[in-house]
Structure 1
Amino acid sequence: MSWKDLNRANMTVQAMMNILEREGYNPSLCLKGTGLSVEDLLNSETKIEDQVEVSIIEKALDILPEKAGYGLTVGQSLRITNFGIWGFAILTSPDVRSAFETMSRYSEMSIMLSKAGMEQKGDEVYFVLNMDHLPKKVHEFMFERYYIMIVNFLKEMLPDYPLSEFKICLPFSNYNYENQLKSLTGLCIYSRQKNYSIVANKALLDAPFPKTDPLAHSHFISECDGMLKSHKSLPDYAQRVREYIIRESIFSPKLEKVAESLCISDRTLKRRLQEERHSFSEVVLDTKMALAKELLDTACLPVKVVSARLGYSEPSSFMRAFKKWWGVSPAKVKEIGQSKECTLDNGY
């Protein structure tokens, strides 16, 4: 049995079925179309694929009354120790920063089915969960499950830390849901934010864990790295740099600022990019040229506007860079875009 495959999915599905039963619904309703039966779930050898787990959660949420808390309930039954090598790599970390970097780097191979990350802004650190690839129906559930896992982990590792100082950010506004979540967590809820995130004081990152094992941590990280090489969908550091550029709309970013937002040193970011056979400047230019092509071809914006948006002081500099990168002039790409019946009036 793989360290990654079964515990999370089986425990989550069983917990969802228990919730359905307590709410007065037939638990087997959420198994329709999955090829699984209730009896299958009682067999520890039954394998539940990631997409099946998501489908079952989505079906269950369609059946249940709409309210906050289902993810919190399911997450209470989960512990980091349930998740094999990934969990042990986190538990043996020397401090919170290392633990969350490990959690972030290998997140898609573990419980979240999502992209976990850290962003530092001023005196605060944001523990972000990106679920763009998942159905919107399950986003609140997944984030609640992520939140309660973080809380339980920190309660175990730092029992004296004041978790009541946390804040929760949501990328939407729903008065009823926000009030319910506030009542369940006791935290301040901020709506209409950039993403789903848990916010803490950045000082938390440097809090040491009283018990750690450097040798074991090194071993588990090595094992995770080996699995990471065969897990192609996990976001790498080049992708994280791209996401920073797009999210912040800073098209000539400083490496130090990007590294700070990822809660790592600039030397670590350079090393991670080198391991992926990238350089920081290459990733920045690649991102700018991809955005430029999109703005010209799809949005049909004028070349001068695109040049200015991407931070070029002179359109001529942008045009030279674009042609060198794509082998064709930006005017030609824009012409192709206009031939696709762009409806905006955007002359060069």
Structure 2
Amino acid sequence: MTDGLGQRRSITSALLIAEFAVERGVHPAQLLHGTGIAREMLDDPTAEITRAQEIGLLENVVTALGDEPGFGLFAGIRSHLANHGVWGFAIINSPTVRSAVEVFVQYNDLSFSVARFRAHNEGSEIWLVRDDTAVPRRIRRFALEWDLATFATMQRDFFLTPIPVRVEIAIEAHPMYEMFNLLNGVAEVSFSAPCTILKFARGALDLPLPQANSLSAAYYEKKCMELLQLRRSRGGVSGQVRALLIHRSGVASQPEVADALNLSVRTLRRRLAQEGTTFRELSDETSALLAEQLLAAGLTAEQTSTRLGYSSGSAFAAAFRSWKGQTPHQYARDARAAPR
């Protein structure tokens, strides 16, 4: 796919939007039609989908509910930084607004938005420019409202006084936006702009964030980098195998995965070899990722071992040490020491 549409991403935003639509009477089967997202994935917050699949779900939502002003806003008020994993925690713990913006842009593929963002200097301001050229026109209003509502929620979550910002918005003005108090704290706004831009005064970017923690910020930014590299490194059959393993909590044999992909084991091995990997490597890689997530979430090494299908705690500990160079207990202690 082009324009990053094949990029793997968390299912979090899609889940929140799906919940919004289901509460308004849309059947899950209608939401998922033609997306390639399995129904059971809606019950799995650790699942991953592609940007194209998320866009497909948005298209189904807009088809079912209509393209009325405000729907994206009401969906977006569910979206908080803490919903978005290591990316959200990296921003929460950033020392200043400037560093938060840098994390936002650098790890855009881990964010809540199907659009792209870039930042650049413009005189006495820093502009955060939103690019939705890869987003189908019929869902651009909904996707933009979702993003704007999430930004507004971020402001309310972390600042007693909103950060002063000037905004250009690529949709027409509507009474709904004033009613929703979307632009609370915005110094200046203009609608019907060619693209959406958030304009920050340079002085505002030096404001400290209330939950700033430089050590935790560095920890979560490292996790962002690892996760982004991992997602980008797996495409083709490798990506499909990894997605299935993640969905099944790492507990699946090679024949089971081959059967799920409608391939013979021999063909699966050949395809993976062509992509420079093996089923064992993908299985270990997935188990390592899931183990990190489970330990960081508070599960014990024994519970994590059981969840990942290991025959004993000692076997899991030996495998984890080979992946991370430390014991599961050491990793869990370090992860819990970083404030959530």
Q: Normalising to structure 1: TM-score of the pair?
A: 0.55
Written as runs of structure 1 = structure 2, the 5 A alignment for 1:191-202 is 191-202=191-202
Match of 2:181 in 1: 185
Match of 1:156 in 2: 157
Task: Verify: 1:12 aligned to 2:12, yes or no.
Answer: no
One-letter code of the match for 1:68? P
Alpha-carbon deviation of 1:80? 0.8
Pick closer, same or farther for the CA change 1:219–1:55 going to 2, 3 Å: same
Task: Verify: 1:210 aligned to 2:210, yes or no.
Answer: yes
Across the aligned residues of Structure 1 and Structure 2, the Cα RMSD in angstroms comes to 3.0
SS at match of 1:128: strand
Written as runs of structure 1 = structure 2, the 5 A alignment for 1:1-150 is 4-19=9-24, 21=25, 28-34=29-35, 41-42=42-43, 48-150=49-151
Pick closer, same or farther for the CA change 1:182–1:120 going to 2, 3 Å: farther
Give deviations 1:82-109, integer Å, cap 9, x for gaps.
1111111111100111001101111122
SS at match of 1:116: strand
Q: Where in structure 2 are there 5+ consecutive unaligned residues?
A: 1-7, 234-340
Alpha-carbon deviation of 1:158? 1.7
The whole-number CA distance in structure 2 between the counterparts of 1:7 and 1:83 is 7
Q: Which moved more, 1:90-99 or 1:45-54?
A: 45-54
One-letter code of the match for 1:109? L
Pick closer, same or farther for the CA change 1:149–1:45 going to 2, 3 Å: closer
Pick closer, same or farther for the CA change 1:184–1:95 going to 2, 3 Å: same
CA contact (8 A) 1:85 1:220 kept: yes
Match of 2:227 in 1: 227
Task: Verify: 1:171 aligned to 2:170, yes or no.
Answer: yes
CA contact (8 A) 1:67 1:180 kept: no
One-letter code of the match for 1:198? L
Pick closer, same or farther for the CA change 1:198–1:17 going to 2, 3 Å: farther
The whole-number CA distance in structure 1 between the counterparts of 2:38 and 2:86 is 29
The whole-number CA distance in structure 2 between the counterparts of 1:46 and 1:212 is 29
Q: Where in structure 1 are there 5+ consecutive unaligned residues?
A: 234-348
Give deviations 1:292-341, integer Å, cap 9, x for gaps.
xxxxxxxxxxxxxxxxxxxxxxxxxxxxxxxxxxxxxxxxxxxxxxxxxx
Structure number with greater Rg is: 1
CA contact (8 A) 1:83 1:111 kept: yes
CA contact (8 A) 2:36 2:53 kept: no
One-letter code of the match for 2:12? N
CA contact (8 A) 2:116 2:132 kept: yes
Alpha-carbon deviation of 1:191? 3.2
One-letter code of the match for 1:181? Y
CA contact (8 A) 1:9 1:50 kept: no
Pick closer, same or farther for the CA change 1:227–1:71 going to 2, 3 Å: same
SS at match of 1:99: helix
Alpha-carbon deviation of 1:231? 5.4
CA contact (8 A) 2:10 2:47 kept: no
Pick closer, same or farther for the CA change 1:4–1:46 going to 2, 3 Å: closer
One-letter code of the match for 2:22? M
Overall identity of the aligned pairs, in %: 21
One-letter code of the match for 1:111? F
Aligned residue pairs, count: 222
CA contact (8 A) 1:108 1:114 kept: no
Alpha-carbon deviation of 1:229? 3.6
Q: Normalising to structure 2: TM-score of the pair?
A: 0.56
